[in-house]
Amino acid sequence: MTKQDLAKFIDSTALSPTLGIREVQTLCQEAESLGFCAVCVPPCWVSYAKSLLSSGRVKIATVVSFPHGNDISSSKAASARDSVAAGADEIDMVMNLTWAKEGNCSALEQDIRSVVLAAKVPVKVILETCLLTDLEIRGACEAAARAGAKFVKTSTGFAKSGATLEAVRLMKASIPTTM
């Protein structure tokens, strides 16, 4: 696999609460020049990033209920809808961690489905695996798949730790091969 081939799988992300215009410009310029798949920016920067990436070669992703996942489902759905209207091509949502911890996979699935249906673009579900047991990770992956999410992701980068190889292996084993 060449560097160019690998670049097509990378979402370059900048989600700092103090992210400024220069950082968004740099993020978009680098993504375009390196051939990345997408940039991921906070919702307030979606339309600006879209204007910088007008060639359409780099997708615009944004986050919903970031970084904690504890917004109510209707707010998550509205945020996803508004972000898509502003130009987002993909949504990265943080799932409700409480429902995952409590094993309430039905509520978790409903929450994810509300975003999937509102967005009408690919939705990636962030699990925050460092806060979950193996059983909770499996349940969350299964709920995300049933709800129609296209991807699951390990972490926000804002919790106590990030991705581990063990969590990635468990997630891969817990989702359908089509996901």
- Give domain limits for the chain: 3-174
**Between 142 and 160, where is the model more confident?**
142
CA distances from 32 to 27, 39, 44, 86 (A): 9, 9, 20, 20
d(CA 147, CA 173): 18
d(CA 138, CA 111): 17
For the chain, percent of residues with pLDDT exceeding 90: 88
pLDDT of residue 98: 96
d(CA 37, CA 58): 5
Say what the pTM is. 0.94
* Length reported for the chain: 179
Cβ neighbours around 132 below 10 Å, total: 19
d(CA 91, CA 83): 8
Which helix (H) or strand (E) segment holds residue 125: the answer is: strand 123-126
d(CA 160, CA 69): 15
Confidence class of residue 71 from pLDDT cuts 50, 70 and 90? very high
Q: Check pLDDT > 90 for residue 160.
A: no
Indicate the class that CATH gives domain 3-174: alpha beta
pLDDT of residue 90: 98
Mean pLDDT of 100-113: 97
d(CA 4, CA 64): 29
Q: With CA atoms as reference, report the closest residue to 162 among 13, 5, 6.
A: 13
Mean pLDDT of 12-19: 96
Given a contact cutoff of 8 angstroms between Cβ atoms, the answer to whether 132 and 168 are in contact is: no
pLDDT of residue 1: 85
**Between 37 and 7, where is the model more confident?**
37
Mean pLDDT of 108-123: 98
pLDDT of residue 67: 95
pLDDT of residue 21: 98
